[in-house]
Amino acid sequence: MFVWYALFVAIVIVIAFAAVAGLFYYFLGVFESPAPALLIAQAIVFPVLIIAVISGIYILVNRQLGPLRDLKKFTEEADQKPLSIDLPDLQLNENSDGAATVASIYDFMKRRHEKVQRLLHFSSLASHELRTPLSIIRNQLEDGLQTDITFDRLNEIVASTYDEIIWLHHLLNDLLTISTLQSGTMKIEKTNVNFHSFIREIYDEVLLLSREKDISVVLARGPQVTLPCDPGRLRQVFFNLIENALKFTSEKGKIHITYRVFNNSLECKISDTGCGIDNDQLEKIFEPFYQASKDGEHVRQGAGLGLTLVQWIIEAHHGTIQVESEKGKGTTFTIYLPLFTHSSSTL
């Protein structure tokens, strides 16, 4: 656009200069009337004007279409590559409205491509996780069909198969929830919730679970605060985090729940005195199907989707979640939730 404006200014200056020169010669008496002066001015100005206009239009159109040609070439090359490969960076050398538009289109394409990659990766992981319980159920049923099987052995197979089906049921429910989260079709139904009453209710229920391992659960006194949230979804968040704390905390351990208002947000911390998480695992615990080890042993405690759901539900509330841990000393999850209602209510 700068080139076009420069050409326009140059054309105006040329026209003004030619007109003034013609009139100046007329007043000096070089011409008997202004007509010859104007004719000379026109003979000079018009060709320059036409050339300038054509050049300006060519330059302007070329600058606008150049980024589009780059985008066309880029999409043709990207279309030949598998979806599992990241999109390469699109190099735009020009600074124009066309380049800015193409850059925004590229950013949109890249975000969509990354989303498709995550869906493909998640589908692959889900298929792998579903294969294991289905294989176990199949093998157990094949054993149950043996003609020489005893009644006690048949009872064991039925009980084990039932456990696998329950586990598979929970897995499918989590997969359905995550699929709606990823597709953006799940809505967050926010209401104003008294957070003190909300967390107190969860605390009372957690006390029943903590008795099995004689773990002390402490809810610190906090301020009366109203939180705009989906109480059902937020309940999933806190139960997942507290159940994880109970799972990885040994007998006679402690769990502390604290909250406060901080920078127009509700800050809530859930800390435990459990076994802690290795630093190399901290970056992965929110990934789908990832399960942190306990005391160096990997034991199937669930589908590994709990913390993934926690993170997505928190982000759907336009909040954030952080984790700190020290091996052998415990783990702390910190949640930040805004105390104002966001305009968007869809995941």
Give the phi and the psi of residue 147 in degrees, each rounded to 5.
Answer: -70, -25
- Tens-digit pLDDT profile for residues 174-232: 777 777 766 666 677 889 999 999 999 999 888 888 888 889 999 998 898 999 999 98
Domain limits, the chain: 2-80, 122-183, 191-338
Strands, E, within the chain: which ranges?
191-194, 216-219, 226-229, 254-262, 265-272, 320-326, 330-338
Res 119 pLDDT > 60:
yes
Residue 52 in tokens: 């300038």
Q: What is the pLDDT of residue 304?
A: 63
- Tens-digit pLDDT profile for residues 121-149: 666 666 766 777 788 888 888 888 888 88
Rounded distance between C-alpha atoms, residue 317 and residue 195, angstroms = 15
> The whole model's pTM is what?
0.58
Right CATH for 191-338 from 3.60.150.10, 3.30.565.10, 3.20.20.140, 3.40.190.10: 3.30.565.10
Q: Which of 18-32, 71-85, 113-127, 149-163 has the lowest mean pLDDT?
A: 18-32
Res 294 pLDDT > 70:
no
- Residue 217 exposed, middle or buried by CB count within 10 Å (0-12, 13-18, 19+): buried
Q: What is the pLDDT of residue 335?
A: 95
Q: What is the pLDDT of residue 226?
A: 92
Using pLDDT thresholds of 50, 70 and 90, give the confidence band for residue 343.
very low
How far lies 160's CA from each of 132, 157, 299, in Å? 14, 5, 17
Helix axes 195-210, 231-247, angle to 10 degrees: 30
Q: What distance separates the 2 farthest-apart alpha carbons in the chain?
A: 129
Our CA dihedral for 270, 272, 274, 280, rounded to 10 degrees, sits at: 40
Residue in the structure block whose two tokens are 């990354």: 114
Q: What is the pLDDT of residue 305?
A: 72
Right CATH for 122-183 from 1.20.58, 1.10.287, 1.25.40, 2.40.30: 1.10.287
How far lies 79's CA from each of 75, 101, 173, in Å? 6, 21, 35
Cβ contact 240:310 at 8 Å: yes
Mean pLDDT estimate for the chain: 76
From the centroid of its chain, how far is CA 95?
29
Using pLDDT thresholds of 50, 70 and 90, give the confidence band for residue 298.
very low
